[in-house]
Structure formats: structure tokens, C-alpha cells
Amino acid sequence: MAADKKNDRLICLFLLGMILFNYPILSLLNRPAMVFGIPLLYFYIFFIWAVWIFFVGIITASGTDYRQIRNEVQQPGTDA
């Protein structure tokens, strides 16, 4: 199902993020060097962060439109 696929991809992305943002990958980049005049470590973290967000955006943009969820849940009393 599309929703499951999306969930799976997000979970994979999550695990990837856990690896990329932690030891030991982080320790590999913990060295004095500059990229475009910015320290390597900073550049890496912000860059990966931005890319990661980008992928999340892509994964969630496709697939199930949750707008119809509104109609699924019947709410007695006030409407949501």
C-alpha cells in the first residue's frame, strides 16, 4: 500500500539520519579542514541536514493524500 511504502521509506531515512549524525561517521569528519571557507564539520552537518529535509519533503509529497482522513473519523459532538 502506498502509505506503508511511505512509512517504510521514512523509517529508512530516519535510520540513515541516526547513522549520519552520530559517531562514527561524525568522527570521520571531525578534522581541521575548510570547505568554501567554512569548517568541514559545520558544512557537513548543515548540508546533510538540508539534504535530509529535502528527502523527507519528497517522500511525503507523493503518495496518499491524507486529506480524506478527515472524513474517516466520525466525531460525535463538535466537529474537529
Instruction: Name the site residues for other proteins (rule: CB under 8 A).
Output: 6-7, 10-11, 13-14, 17-18, 21-23, 26-27, 30-32, 34, 36-42, 45-46, 49-50, 52-54, 56-57, 60, 65-67, 69-70, 72-78, 80
Distance CA 73, CA 78 (A): 12
Shortest Å, Cβ 55 to other proteins: 9
- Burial tier of 20 (Cβ tally within 10 Å: 0-12, 13-18, 19+): middle
Shortest Å, Cβ 43 to other proteins: 10
Distance CA 52, CA 18 (A): 11
Shortest Å, Cβ 25 to other proteins: 11
The answer for residues whose C-beta is within 8 angstroms of residue 45's C-beta and 6 or more apart is 21
